[in-house]
Amino acid sequence: MKKLFILLIMLTGLISRVFADENSELPSVTGIVENIQYEDVQGLQQGDNSVKQVVLIKVLSGEFKGTERLVDNMLTGNPAYDINLKRGDKVILHAEAKTEDITSADDVDFFIADIKRDNALLGVSAIFITLLLLIGRKKGIYSLISIIATVALIFFMLMPMILNGFCPIASAVLVGILSTIITIYLVGGLNSKSSSAIIGTSLSLVFAGALSLLTIYLAHLTGFAGEESMFLYSAHPDLNFPGLLSVSMIIAALGALMDTGVSIASAINEIYETDRTLSVKQLFTSGMNIGKDVIGTMSNTLILVYLGSALPLVLLSNNIDLQKFFNLNQVATEISSALVGSIAILVCVPLTAIISAYLIKHQKKNQEFNFDNKEL
């Protein structure tokens, strides 16, 4: 366990150092709204309903902590872009230097970037972690470690690799396989059951990558399905955006594939423990029968996740011709992502079943190891 942490830290630290990006921009700071005055700006170009908030903000962090500054905040009547502030709200401030040499707060302009939301996110995260540890106990601890490892791999390995010109699909598959190995071995232990789930999931992940690439090509998907893609293009126009779309499909399907692989491998292992006289063919048949139930629930879960995230698009179908609706780039992207993940789950079942049946049947007990047998 300790060695795993050290290796993970060394890996993420090495990669982040190698791919470090120089950034001279001033760091953002936190501020609190102390007072607000309103000014009518109907005569300007912002629109008939535009209002300007003149906000007195006190800086709460950073080099200029304690500084008070008046900041203009425009309200145009569009809730997608407006930041409607009230007294006591905490905000994130973008700091911009007026001159090259900064000697005081007067040399810096502050702009309101957004509402400070991380405290609420930390609160919800604390609830999740508490329930995970209370209900899962040791398994919960291992699950939490695997989540941290997966997030670290994405932020410190996948993202730098993509930004520095590596093949997006190959990078995503590599990170997905590493995440699968860490997660399943931590939760399930070092045994043939876990190995079967890892091999089945990894092969399905490779299939998902190939299928996503083919789907994107056949459907002429651009990878620009939202505003975030436009913003990224303005900062990194040289990126392979269809490739990034494929990466999102792979990462989105990863969790469901791991769940499917572990479910099939665990079921076959339990069946074999009950009756060790069963042949590989009989174990495979049992795994496929169980897989039929897994397929329905997991595919449904994946499709519902995409439907939930694309609900505004679904509601838009009432106001547009259906043929035009289903051929919109955004809609086709969501449908393709859901189908690629679901097909990968279908492929994962027989792959994991045959691999599990063979490996578990031929397992050697003296080579098994489970983290639950060790003291934390």
* Residue stretches of the chain with pLDDT short of 70: 1-25, 41-49, 364-376
- Smallest Cα–Cα separation from 353: which of 301, 302, 286? 286
What is the model's pLDDT at position 268? 93
Domain limits, the chain: 29-116, 137-373
Terminal Cα distance for the chain, rounded: 9
What is the model's pLDDT at position 48? 58
What is the model's pLDDT at position 312? 81
- Sequence-distant (6+) residues with CB within 8 A of 57 are 31, 32, 33, 34, 68, 69, 70, 71, 91, 93, 110, 112
Using CA atoms, how far apart are residues 292 and 254, in angstroms rounded to an integer?
Answer: 19
When the candidates are 1.10.3470, 2.40.350, 1.20.1640, 3.30.420, the CATH number that belongs to 137-373 is 1.20.1640
| CA dihedral sign, ordered 50, 56, 60, 62 | positive
What is the model's pLDDT at position 101? 73
**126-157 confidence digits (pLDDT tens):** 999 999 999 988 888 988 999 999 999 998 99
Topology, domain 29-116: OB fold (Dihydrolipoamide Acetyltransferase, E2P) (2.40.50)
**228-243 confidence digits (pLDDT tens):** 788 888 888 888 889 9
